[in-house]
Amino acid sequence: MLYNKLKFLKYILLPFQIIYSIIVFVRNELYNLNVLKTFSAPPLIISVGNLNTGGTGKTPMIEYLINTFQGKKIAILSRGYKRKTKGFIIANKSHSAENLGDEMRQLCHKFPNTIIACDNNRVNGVKKIFQGNQT
């Protein structure tokens, strides 16, 4: 019974999958043709994320990476899930979860010697971290 429901759902979602595939293909071709520009940062960047919104272990993975690279210069950049502020912000202990998002606030308190920043625009956030802007 459940199998038949899932099979039915597969056919209902097929048009969305086709549309999504076309959009991704066109986007990738625009990057290949240099219509859309890429940004390459000079240092090593490890991106932790996926399409799932929560509960997939991203924050514990970030904590693991911070501990692994202790003694190195590390910066964490996030969009700041559920934060109420906009734009670029470097975290400090006086910021609330409304400023940073709850997970970034947690990381800020747990790892005070690590640069924790939030920005809705990741490229802008990386550039500002390198510039040392702490607005």
Q: What is the pLDDT of residues 56-98, one digit of tens each?
A: 788 899 999 999 998 888 899 998 888 888 999 998 888 888 8
Answer yes or no: are the C-beta atoms of 95 and 89 closer than 8 Å. Answer: yes
Rounded average pLDDT over 43-55: 73
Six-digit token string for 48: 């932790």
Lowest mean pLDDT among 36-45, 104-113, 122-131: 36-45
Residue 52 belongs to a domain: no
- Residues 120, 71 share a domain: yes
pTM for the complete prediction? 0.69
Separation of alpha carbons 89 and 33, rounded Å:
33
Please tell me the predicted confidence (pLDDT) of residue 51.
60
- Residues 11, 62 share a domain: no
Identity of the residue numbered 43:
P
pLDDT band at 54 (very low <50, low <70, confident <90, very high): low
Nearest CA to 101 among 76, 113, 88, 118? 118
Please tell me the predicted confidence (pLDDT) of residue 52.
60
Residue 97 belongs to a domain: yes
Separation of alpha carbons 49 and 58, rounded Å:
6
- Residues 82, 27 share a domain: no
Range of the domain at 16: 1-38
- Residues 125, 67 share a domain: yes
Residue 124 belongs to a domain: yes
Flag whether pLDDT at 43 surpasses 90: no
Flag whether pLDDT at 134 surpasses 60: no
Nearest CA to 119 among 99, 92, 96? 99
Report the number of distinct structural domains present in the chain: 2
pLDDT band at 34 (very low <50, low <70, confident <90, very high): very high
Please tell me the predicted confidence (pLDDT) of residue 67.
93
- Residues 81, 115 share a domain: yes
Answer yes or no: are the C-beta atoms of 77 and 62 closer than 8 Å. Answer: no
Alpha-carbon distance values, 23 to 27, 38, 121 (Å)? 6, 18, 21
Q: What percent of the chain has pLDDT over 90?
A: 40
Rounded average pLDDT over 12-23: 93
